[in-house]
A and B are shown apart, each in its own frame.
Chain A
């Protein structure tokens, strides 16, 4: 068989067959899942930390998000951005998680507030004076104390997303993103200054 004939056979039979096999056995979905999770794991872990304090629950939520990403891959349209698609799934899972476990979260906040005031009594230093891991811890704690809508915009903004990307992720207008972000920034600044 000549090279030209082989390329025709490949184009007409092998490639469509491979596509069908990939589709049927979910091979392309596995590749997409692996690629997305590898690329966006950092973003997901950070966003989760902005909503949930307990490491065990953080891991549980991460697995829940991964499961929902896996389920949603067949419905993903190529015209949308993978980043915003994944962030939307993460925010939907987290919004439901927070709404279902509000009592636990509030209780955690109370504990955090107590430990915060104790820490503040010992080291009444401004945010900038803390070392990086302390700042990161303080930042996550402060974000978890914000309202849900503010948590959503600020976590996405801190991930370096633009107004358009945040608007696409949360299905709101860019103007509303601006309003919520301003409020979130103001509240966060206040919470960080408390230290």
Chain B
């Protein structure tokens, strides 16, 4: 027995105009199904059985736990070192100000260092906390979160790079300014300082290129 009410006819007309996905969603809503039962029906039992019986190499969970703890510990340790360094720098700055017998070059150097390290720390915390929260967030927004994470990471890398670039003349000026007051030769210290800066620049450049490539990939995926 089929009833053709005007309401049904109207619904049929509407469903003909509906886009594919919403039309199928409507069908799925009207079809009675036990939502707590496995989503695949009996026709898929063989394939599901093949899937579930796939062999895999068991991981050593205890060593995995150790490795995982070590990784999180290192991440926390780096952040703690950053925070302690900034606090130490402020303490040093206060000490330098109070003692009043330090060189002006040292005073300016430590003062500017305080400001720059604070900005650096702000970004470091932002990037690390952001990545910490990302993986339990809504899966529908995971790619957007990944893009935000990637952008923050690039900003962080650029910050380190600029910070290091500014340090390059600053260190050399500082060494030049204090050279007359030091008895030891200044050249080894200059080579060491400049070497560290150049190495940091190379490493940050490599990471920046890598992150930018990832960002391009992610944004092209979103726009597809």
A175 pairs with B25, CB closer than 8 A: yes
A-side contacts of B24, CB under 8 Å: 178-179, 182
Residue in B35, B55, B72, B220 with the greatest tally of chain A CB atoms within 10 Å: B35
Q: Is B36 positioned at the interface, with any CB of A under 8 Å from its CB?
A: yes
Known: A136-B50, A171-B138, A177-B39. A67 touches B44 (CB 8 A): no
The 0/1 profile, CB within 8 Å of A marked 1, for residues 136-160 of chain B is 1111101100100000000000000
A-side contacts of B143, CB under 8 Å: 95-96, 99
The stretch of A12-20, A32-40, A107-115 in contact with B is A32-40
| Bound form: Cα–Cα A175–B64 in Å | 38
| Bound form: Cα–Cα A37–B51 in Å | 19
The binding surface of chain B is classed by DSSP as helix
A34 pairs with B146, CB closer than 8 A: no
Q: Is A166 positioned at the interface, with any CB of B under 8 Å from its CB?
A: yes
Q: Is B62 positioned at the interface, with any CB of A under 8 Å from its CB?
A: yes
A139 pairs with B138, CB closer than 8 A: no
B138 pairs with A63, CB closer than 8 A: no
| Bound form: Cα–Cα A105–B134 in Å | 23
The 0/1 profile, CB within 8 Å of B marked 1, for residues 13-55 of chain A is 0000000000000100010011001100110011001000000
B143 to chain A, nearest CB (A): 6
| Bound form: Cα–Cα A91–B142 in Å | 9
| Bound form: Cα–Cα A156–B48 in Å | 10
Question: In residues 50-109 of chain A, which contact B (Cβ within 8 Å)?
Answer: 62-63, 66-68, 70-72, 75, 85, 88-89, 91-93, 95-96, 99-103
Q: Is A187 positioned at the interface, with any CB of B under 8 Å from its CB?
A: no
Q: Which listed residue (B54, B140, B217) contacts A46, Cβ 8 A?
A: B54
The binding surface of chain A is classed by DSSP as helix
A171 pairs with B139, CB closer than 8 A: yes
A162 pairs with B39, CB closer than 8 A: yes
Q: Is B28 positioned at the interface, with any CB of A under 8 Å from its CB?
A: yes
Q: Is B192 positioned at the interface, with any CB of A under 8 Å from its CB?
A: no
Known: A66-B68, A100-B214. A166 touches B39 (CB 8 A): yes
Q: Which residue of B lies closest to A88 (CB)?
A: B139
Q: Is B59 positioned at the interface, with any CB of A under 8 Å from its CB?
A: yes
| Bound form: Cα–Cα A177–B164 in Å | 50
B-side contacts of A37, CB under 8 Å: 59, 61, 64-65
Q: Which listed residue (B25, B56, B67) contacts A178, Cβ 8 A?
A: B25
Residue in B55, B142, B220 with the greatest tally of chain A CB atoms within 10 Å: B142
Q: Which listed residue (A103, A139, A162) contacts B47, Cβ 8 A?
A: A139
B44 to chain A, nearest CB (A): 7
Q: Which residue of B lies closest to A91 (CB)?
A: B139
Residue in B51, B59, B67, B138 with the greatest tally of chain A CB atoms within 10 Å: B51
| Bound form: Cα–Cα A182–B24 in Å | 9
The 0/1 profile, CB within 8 Å of B marked 1, for residues 123-161 of chain A is 000001000110110011000000000001100111111
B-side contacts of A194, CB under 8 Å: none
| Bound form: Cα–Cα A161–B55 in Å | 20
Which A residues lie at the B interface, using CB under 8 A?
Answer: 26, 30, 33-34, 37-38, 41-42, 45-46, 49, 62-63, 66-68, 70-72, 75, 85, 88-89, 91-93, 95-96, 99-103, 128, 132-133, 135-136, 139-140, 152-153, 156-164, 166, 169-179, 181-182, 185, 192
Beyond A99-B217, A136-B51, 4 extra complex contacts between A and B, CB < 8 Å: A33-B65, A101-B217, A157-B44, A164-B36
Provide a sorted-by-A list of 30 A–B residue pairs whose CB atoms are within 8 angstroms: A34-B61, A34-B62, A37-B59, A37-B61, A37-B64, A41-B59, A62-B59, A67-B68, A68-B135, A75-B136, A89-B136, A96-B142, A99-B146, A102-B220, A157-B40, A158-B40, A160-B38, A160-B52, A163-B33, A164-B35, A164-B36, A169-B139, A170-B140, A171-B139, A174-B28, A178-B28, A178-B33, A179-B28, A182-B24, A192-B47
